[in-house]
Amino acid sequence: MKVKNKTIVVTGGGNGLGREIVLNLLDKGARVIAVDMNETALEETFNLSKKNKGVLIPHIADITSTEELKILRDKTINLFGAVDGVINNAGIIQPFVKLNDLDFEIIKRVMNVNFIGMANVTKTFLPQLLSRSESHIVNVSSLGGIVPTAGQISYCASKAAVKQFSDCLRSELSETNVRVTTIFPGAMQTNIKINSGLMREAESTDAARAGNTLHPTLAAEHIVAAMEHNRKSAYLGKDSKSMHFISKISSTLATKLIYSQVKYKFN
């Protein structure tokens, strides 16, 4: 689905990858509803949209709330008449600890945002998407959704759920005009640790610079391209592509390789 002149809802649109997706869509001529819980971040995204401000609507909402999403849906339809696409990008991670040391409230929060929120947004807008001659759903999973990562058990479980949800939904919608794309990013230079309450801004910036991570601007370009070319999936970053390849050969080897990279965090 070409995004020009289409109305697209983007969750987590206040910063990081979500912000870059919003700006990329605007540059391609789309109308965008940027959804986030962070009002300041949404204002920054709006200010960065420059000449495209007239077709960007920032909206504060908790994606786990069905009532708040109904308000968002009605607002979008009232403003633009219809919804053509949804990009479920919002997500958080957990502290880097093993299950025995992980607070169960954190497990519930990660699952609620990453999976329940994604499912809630999709179900809220699906009737509108089904009414369009063409429409698209993009769900952002993760490398952690296909290769287990010790110390991120709830995050990986939530992103694996996103993958399976997307695969099942794609099958359900196979005889409709709605297309479904699943995105599997590797490590990226985003504020996910800050947004998850796990790191201060200065620490996050230093960590991103130190690692071989994918810039969110480039990731956003790949995501929008996957949407426009109706791709079933996209693996973003060298780590995601290589680990996906290795996991198809040997899931055990892939798991061991990931563990060798993260085990120092538990010492």
The model's pLDDT over 77-123, given as tens digits with 9 standing for 90+, comes to: 999 999 999 999 999 999 999 999 999 999 999 999 999 999 999 99
Does some domain include residue 1? no
Domain that includes residue 178, residue range: 7-266
Single-letter residue type at 147:
V
Segment 179-238, tens digit of pLDDT: 999 999 999 986 554 544 444 444 444 444 445 689 999 999 999 999 999 999 999 999
Mean pLDDT, the chain, integer: 92
- Residue 179 and residue 4: Cα distance in Å, rounded? 17
Backbone angles phi, psi at 249, to 5 degrees: -80, -50
Catalytic residues: 155
Query: Residue 265 gets which letter from DSSP?
Result: G
CATH code of 60's domain: 3.40.50.720
* Nearest-angstrom CA–CA distance, 255 and 202: 31
Residue 125 banded pLDDT, cuts 50, 70, 90: very high
Say how many domains are in the chain: 1
Tell me if 128 is assigned to some domain. yes
The answer to whether residue 2 is domain-embedded is: no
Quick one: which of 227, 74, 251 has its CA closest to 160? Answer: 251
Q: What mean pLDDT do residues 36-41 have?
A: 97
